[in-house]
Structure 1
């Protein structure tokens, strides 16, 4: 398609065409109503742009949505994704694949520099493509970006196609985006086989629901058959249980074979859904895993973010410059770097940083903010879908109540996975039993909660079916440990539990107890046992104190000073130990007068030096 005489209106860096655009459809259209066809496709492309252009911040951070201000455009902040497929840096993807097909990879220098193949160059090369990615890896956003770019190109926006890279040689293909969860829901129960016709009917019906004319669907099918289209099939993992996904894949498989020789296809899914998909439907197409953000991409996103919000007037140029540098420094923190590698969590941190001035210095406060925002994703209304609390219709139920259950689930999952790295798998049955007491014993409502967890990336993520039971996990071990800490400090026997955990499996519970100590700082009495338990009080001599013990002690020092319980024998040793090494300038608070006689130690110091990484600075010897 080509366009002439286009007027444009800017939306946060993206462009929407106005009514005076004229489109020439470059295929052998057999109908006599060319003008009507032009109008229908023009309206369709403008609808695609309006749907995809604004960055959907409300679904990420409710506080970041600014309905009274100009919206932030997707293309102004989008950063190209990489796949996990490594190729020699000197090769283009197409050339390297041809070389491997000829069996010549053995001649490559084993020491030569490698790079990750970008998602866009893979898209340009593979006509039938599957992208697999973790929750928050940017799968859906990539689909929105592609649909937006091709729609803008179809309406004549100059340079739009350049955003797809030099490897894209397929022109402004008509973009057709399908949310597979919605398609799955449209299929009748007991359907014996999924067919391509079901998908075409769904596309036509959805366009009508969005206010486009009835004939739009059949016209898109005609264009795809004769001139080609790019079909963006998003979220196979959200298409229900295995049987329903089977029907969806049957329909998609036939659709790919019959939708037009010039058409191209991109299907996205979490890995678990595609593994079962291969077995069920036998679809054998090019499959690539999306990679986490590299440091360069993280820095690029931050730069583009603050440039974009400055350009639309959310902040001044000077404020944007200061905040950009601040956030770039913040994501270098050891506790934030792993989170920033996930595009969703990085965007979430950027919204927090923008709207609240800075990221909290204390990682516990930051984790709390992130947890609250991820919880809110379950409670947002999206289209015809109601928020979780509205759907449950349970009087007095709050998100805080849901959070308490999630904290219990996190603690129990962490306890069941001692000695294992990464996040724990949580069976659907465990979630149902955990939520039922909160919901008056209703299994139906507990099932509804699990369905929301499955559909919306948040604090828990669906992992597919294993052993005939759906499995879930946390997006990062950090969240599992932080939430487990929340459950621990809420228990009446917190002191005894913490001491037992520190004694039985100190390495496994280290971060949980450190986080518990920090979270308990707002409540002195519950926090004090963490000084004793989390600092490793199973040790009877100072020599037994490791990095873990010193870090916990540093975290809890303010509570120890302010509690009035510092005189108890069980705390005197730890106070003496801490103050023998802490210089006044490195103390979390000013030294408490009660410990003045301990500052500083002289040359006859009797305690061992804290290990590196403990956060303690020795007092200056005089």
Structure 2
């Protein structure tokens, strides 16, 4: 009825409003008909649209009212703040998954949290064992926040071994977002433990993550007003944290949950998603489209940080006083770290946060680390096999002790087969019979799935099983030996290294008499080493067996000990010493205990190489050996490798030693040529020390040095006569060549003659005062004769000069015969007395200048030794300090000799150069003296000749005189070499007399 009236009204309107159309239709009934139909259809459509618009408007109004109501409710409820306040304390506590015997306080998460590192890695290559993969956590260590909170949302799968810190990482991530939401792009963390929601997901695979979280919160009477979580998810404001995909027990259910995760990602694509799992569980139910990240092992710095944080949190709760707590925590943390460093088998397990937490708990609440490693391994097996499942309230189909019993049998069988990896059929055979006796409901496949998921037994490759760490295989096998009373099997295998750790783990909780007796009867290095270690770790051992072991150790140090017995015990002691290794931050393994006197003594006896640097005094056996040279450290290392039957040991690098907590000491590094030290270099010799040594030399050799100066005066006077004609001929030739430039030949020759007179007269004047200076009447006659000879050279006629020179030559030979032979040798006096010697500086620049300076100044009998020392040290250009290396002294003497000769020959070739300064380079005497110095010093430096006092003095004085031979700054390296020789012999002298205590030690690292 309504529609008809509408059509009529529309027709009338059209008819009245458009008269031209009506006129057009007159006489055309067909056209009118179709136009009428069209109009009616249009009217109907407009009316229907108006009805729809009215309905939609009503619904939109209702929805707007409801939405506004919900928005007001959400705003008034403050749910975001309530959610934050509820979750922060809920996520604060760390997971309590340590040993059964922990203390009263579980530290807060933030107190002990050490951010784990992540490494991109294929799921098929992810680490499955507790500690296994040494390559996890190399150069690509990254933090979770490097992937989250990016402009583009991320979907991450974090894989890690049991106890590697996956759940802790999610909890801490949630806390960081809640505490500082404004710093994040996505401000709402949504954490779900998948094990708690398996039934809901399997029953309704399309259920949303928001619905599951709302159900979880409902248990705490917290209601989500107005779909608060859905709106945040739709807006892309969330980080969805899904923990424990691997803890979904049934494979089919796990696949369903993985598909549900994928659906959530598609439904809410603007949010970050992070799902954690053990690698084994993830491989069988992967979430597509994820970036897979492997949790890295703790490195040494993270281990240290965690231990200090853990103890700090505990002590703050106990003591309350911040300073006291910090001191107690630091002391306890250092104690634990030191104990771990001394127990390599435990130190290897610290890379796993859960195992490290267990060790910290045991150390804190039992006072020390477990009395034996077996105790700790027992704790670990319990936690991994069933206690963590009980904590998480996961279903347990077979009691934990029964699981362990089955694995003990499997471990023993693997030890018998001497293998770490076995195929699946061997595993099923080993456990099937025992499993049937324990349960009818649990099949072999179910058992394997269970123990594989807990991380103790892992499928390393497809169908190949092994224990997460070989230590657990050895421990479980030892338990099987104890359960089945198979100690006789271990006694039969004392020479087999494969069974060594199993034996030690067995004796830690059992009578070790039979095993130790078998070791002593075998008497091989392997067996004796096992005997010593068994005696230390055994819970019971007969006193007579302990006495026999102690007697063996002492017998190696008896002076008349048979060589084979000493060699055998040396092998045992070397192996025991080097077993205590620690890992540095850079990954190197170092034995931090310095080599002992006892061990070094055995090396000396074994090699027949006594060390003259170390006096035959009584040294405590267990004290570090000190004062060895770098070459000795290298030789000792080679001996260690030989006696241990390997090439595994070397001297450490300096950066590796810097990572250790060593007392002030010096340690040989690398090739044995450099010292690492945290104190003053033990080879450093200051100029004041060297001057004091020279002063002692002069005081002791007062008369000898006076004779040396007289010999120098006689030699110089004699050679001046020979020099005169030589120089005159040389100058005459040069003057003739230069005459064209105006040089007067007569003037030049006159200058040469005058110079030949001035020098002897200066020496003569010095000798006038010599008797009063030397203060030794026995030299008065020699001084007078020397003065007469020198004056005759300058003033007497040629015939008288010849007789005076003959007298002087005889006197010089007599004086040289009265000198200490080694002094005459190093100063090349036999060569200086040779009539054919080159006259230029016959005994060097230093002695020549010293003579006139010393005897022409204010020198008295009381101060002349000090003046002698002063002049010698100044002219030899002493730097401060000198650091000679004993092993390099002999090569330094050789290098210095070669360089002196090379410089001399180079100067001789340039002698025709008009600019040549004949006083700038070394003399012919310096070449000869350098040769003689090397001959005397090298055997002393190489320890093939004794370090006699006269030899030390001669080397020191000659080296300093040679250091002053060259004044050209471009040849300073030669001076430094000679000064190093003087300082080096001083260093050796001070050590040999006990004035300086050596500090060089030997520490070994693994190759």
Runs of 4+ with >6 A deviation: 421-426, 445-452, 557-561, 616-622
Aligned to 1:98: none
| Residue 473 of structure 2 corresponds to residue 434 of structure 1 | no
SS in structure 2 at match of 1:489: helix
SS in structure 2 at match of 1:480: helix
Aligned to 1:251: 260
Query: Aligned partners of 2:117 and 2:541: how far apart in 1?
Result: 51
Deviation at 1:179? 1.5
Query: Aligned partners of 2:117 and 2:424: how far apart in 1?
Result: 27
Deviation at 1:466? 5.4
Q: 1:273 to 1:379 in 2, by over 3 A?
A: closer
Which of these residues, 348, 353, 361, is aligned with residue 343 of structure 1? 353
Deviation at 1:600? 6.8
Aligned to 2:530: 551
| Residue 153 of structure 2 corresponds to residue 143 of structure 1 | no
Give the conservation status (yes or no) of the 8 Å contact 1:353–1:359.
yes
| Residue 398 of structure 2 corresponds to residue 367 of structure 1 | no
Aligned to 1:129: 156
Give the conservation status (yes or no) of the 8 Å contact 1:432–1:443.
no
Query: Aligned partners of 2:461 and 2:250: how far apart in 1?
Result: 8
Which of these residues, 301, 304, 313, is aligned with residue 306 of structure 2? 301
Aligned to 1:23: none
Q: How does 1:5-404 map to 2 (within 5 A)?
A: 31-35=70-74, 38-57=77-96, 59-66=97-104, 72-85=107-120, 114=139, 116-125=141-150, 127-154=154-181, 170-171=184-185, 173-188=187-202, 194-195=205-206, 197=207, 199-213=209-223, 215=225, 218-261=227-270, 263-278=271-286, 283-313=288-318, 317=325, 318-333=327-342, 334-360=344-370, 362-371=372-381, 374=384, 377-378=387-388, 380-382=390-392, 403-404=404-405
Deviation at 1:79? 0.3
Aligned to 1:587: none
TM-score (norm 1): 0.67
| Residue 553 of structure 2 corresponds to residue 582 of structure 1 | yes
Query: Aligned partners of 1:179 and 1:473: how far apart in 2?
Result: 29
Q: How does 1:354-503 map to 2 (within 5 A)?
A: 354-360=364-370, 362-371=372-381, 374=384, 377-378=387-388, 380-382=390-392, 403-415=404-416, 418-420=418-420, 433-437=433-437, 439=438, 441-444=439-442, 453=451, 457=454, 460=456, 474-495=467-488, 497-499=489-491
Aligned to 2:828: none
Query: Aligned partners of 1:182 and 1:465: how far apart in 2?
Result: 30
Query: Aligned partners of 2:424 and 2:316: how far apart in 1?
Result: 43
Deviation at 1:219? 1.9
Q: 1:266 to 1:409 in 2, by over 3 A?
A: same
Q: 1:562 to 1:447 in 2, by over 3 A?
A: same
Aligned to 2:689: none
Ranges in structure 1 where 5+ consecutive residues have no aligned partner? 1-27, 87-112, 162-169, 567-573, 584-597
SS in structure 1 at match of 2:158: strand
Deviation at 1:138? 0.5
Give the conservation status (yes or no) of the 8 Å contact 1:133–1:269.
yes
TM-score (norm 2): 0.43
| Residue 503 of structure 2 corresponds to residue 513 of structure 1 | yes
Give the conservation status (yes or no) of the 8 Å contact 1:182–1:239.
no
Aligned to 1:613: 575
SS in structure 2 at match of 1:287: strand
Query: Aligned partners of 2:537 and 2:251: how far apart in 1?
Result: 53
Q: How does 1:521-560 map to 2 (within 5 A)?
A: 524=511, 527-531=512-516, 535=519, 542=523, 544-546=524-526, 549-556=528-535
Q: 1:204 to 1:432 in 2, by over 3 A?
A: farther
Deviation at 1:344? 0.7
SS in structure 2 at match of 1:519: coil
SS in structure 2 at match of 1:63: coil
Deviation at 1:224? 1.5
Deviation at 1:555? 1.1
SS in structure 1 at match of 2:553: coil
Query: Aligned partners of 1:344 and 1:267: how far apart in 2?
Result: 20
Q: 1:352 to 1:286 in 2, by over 3 A?
A: same
Q: 1:144 to 1:380 in 2, by over 3 A?
A: same
Query: Aligned partners of 1:378 and 1:31: how far apart in 2?
Result: 43
Query: Aligned partners of 2:112 and 2:259: how far apart in 1?
Result: 36
Aligned to 1:592: none
Residues 523-555 of structure 1: per-residue CA shift (max 9 Å, x gap): x3xx3332356x497x6xx4x433x65134431
Residues 370-399 of structure 1: per-residue CA shift (max 9 Å, x gap): 4455566257454x657x5xx87xxxx8x6
Q: 1:214 to 1:473 in 2, by over 3 A?
A: farther
Give the conservation status (yes or no) of the 8 Å contact 2:474–2:502.
yes
Give the conservation status (yes or no) of the 8 Å contact 2:236–2:268.
no
In the comparison of the two structures, how many residue pairs are matched?
Answer: 490
Give the conservation status (yes or no) of the 8 Å contact 2:157–2:293.
yes
Give the conservation status (yes or no) of the 8 Å contact 1:53–1:73.
yes
Where relative contact order (Cα < 8 A, 6+ residues apart) is larger, the structure is 1
Over the residues paired in the alignment, what is the CA RMSD in angstroms? 4.2
Give the conservation status (yes or no) of the 8 Å contact 1:423–1:480.
no
Greater strand fraction, Structure 1 or Structure 2: 1
Larger radius of gyration: 2
Q: 1:42 to 1:412 in 2, by over 3 A?
A: farther
